[in-house]
């Protein structure tokens, strides 16, 4: 049937964090004085933290409500058949004004068994890294459970992790099971499965706002960790103007980097998936069958699967992440 669907914008969900700061203002987020905001959830189907449409005649409706009404016209048939009204991805901006905990996420099987949740495979795209900023991804060599627990007990887990200096454009793919951490001074975009299950391994002996040590999940994490060393934790693909450049692709999502200096037509007819645009620089317009939608730096837009032919017009030279499910 014919529907008046259009590119959806959503109200950001800002998350105060002990390690958060103010830099999400650079992405257009409203942060009050004295507030430490670590995350902006741009597109979320997490129960209790569901995104609300901010534009057009469906403004005020939740993400699951529009999927319930328009079904596969929003998500694509294969995705709707698998997930129903549950949106499969969670999109965030993260501002690390201090080091985040060293942590790991369970895979689908373990998350379902323990939490009745999806697992959490994710990726990071670095928007900026201050001088000395680092990300942690994986172990410096193969370790076993005994060695890992010894370093954990001694408070030296950090010493056996791979530390990577970061700069804008770096890409980190983090499959479930890989131990990782975001370091102080990193501003990143995160694409992940719809899950909020995190096992915290080490948190630098910090306390919460009541002075209590932050909870660790040592026993739960043991069944989730992949102890093998990996050699390809960091990538730095370079996109040619107008040519989508693949940053990461797995069963859960594909993310491309697109730089726009002139108009670019995109045909998603064979994709059978929604498409997400995350504007990281500049601004552009989405031309679709019903009109045009302006997207500026820091905004995230959900393109319904029904709108499979669009043209992207740069207003200023723009950079965006293009995200979908194959």
The total of other beta-carbon atoms located within 10 Å of residue 139's CB is: 22
Q: What distances in angstroms separate CA 39 from CA 95, 96, 183, 187, 226, one per listed residue?
A: 6, 9, 14, 10, 26
Give the H/E segment covering residue 12.
none
- CB contact burial 86-115 (16+ within 10 A = b; e otherwise): bbbbbbbbbbbbbbbbbbbbbbbebbeeee
10/60 Cα distance (integer angstroms): 9
Output the six-digit token pair for 215.
């909870």
155 exposure class (CB count in 10 Å sphere: 0-12, 13-18, 19+): exposed
Q: Is 200 a catalytic residue?
A: yes
Alpha helices in the chain (DSSP H): 63-70, 72-75, 77-83, 108-115, 145-154, 218-222
Residue 298, phi-psi category: left (phi > 0), alpha (psi -120 to 50), beta (remainder): left
Which residue among 23, 36, 114, 200 is the active-site one?
A: 200
Token duo for residue 84: 């129903």
Count of Cβ atoms closer than 10 Å to residue 15 Cβ: 16
The DSSP secondary structure of 62-102, one letter per residue, reads BHHHHHHHHTHHHH-HHHHHHHTTS--EEEEEEEESSPPPE
| Cβ-proximal residues to 134 (8 Å cutoff; 6+ apart), any chain | 163, 164, 165, 166, 183, 186
CA distances from 209 to 18, 19, 39, 96, 213 (A): 8, 11, 18, 17, 10
Active site residues: 200
């Amino acid at each position: 049937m014919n529907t008046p669907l259009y590119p959806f914008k959503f109200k950001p969900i800002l998350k105060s964090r002990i390690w958060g700061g103010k830099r999400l203002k650079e992405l257009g987020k409203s942060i009050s004085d004295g507030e430490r905001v670590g995350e902006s959830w741009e597109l979320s189907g997490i129960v209790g933290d569901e995104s609300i449409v901010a534009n057009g005649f469906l403004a005020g409706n939740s993400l699951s409500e529009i999927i319930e009404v328009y079904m596969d016209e929003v998500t694509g048939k294969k995705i709707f058949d698998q997930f129903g009204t549950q949106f499969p991805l969670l999109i965030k901006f993260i501002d690390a004004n201090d080091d985040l905990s060293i942590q790991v996420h369970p895979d689908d099987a373990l998350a379902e068994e323990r939490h009745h949740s999806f697992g959490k495979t994710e990726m990071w795209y670095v928007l900026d890294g201050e001088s000395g900023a680092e990300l942690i991804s994986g172990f410096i060599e193969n370790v076993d459970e005994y060695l890992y627990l010894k370093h954990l007990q001694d408070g030296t887990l950090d010493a056996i992790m791979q530390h990577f200096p970061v700069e804008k454009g770096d890409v980190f793919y983090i499959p479930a099971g890989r131990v990782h951490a975001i370091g102080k001074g990193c501003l990143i975009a995160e694409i992940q499965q719809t899950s909020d299950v995190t096992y915290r391994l080490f948190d630098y002996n910090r306390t919460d706002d009541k002075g209590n040590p932050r909870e660790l999940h040592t026993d739960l994490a043991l069944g989730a960790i992949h102890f093998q060393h990996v050699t390809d934790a960091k990538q730095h693909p370079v996109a040619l103007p107008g040519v989508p450049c693949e940053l990461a692709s797995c069963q859960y999502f594909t993310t491309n980097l697109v730089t726009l200096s002139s108009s670019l037509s995109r045909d998603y007819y064979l994709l059978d998936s929604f498409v997400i645009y995350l504007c990281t620089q500049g601004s552009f317009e989405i031309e679709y069958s019903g009109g045009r939608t302006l997207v500026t730096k820091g905004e995230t837009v959900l393109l319904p699967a029904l709108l499979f032919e669009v043209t992207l017009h740069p207003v200023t030279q723009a950079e965006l992440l293009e995200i979908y499910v194959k």
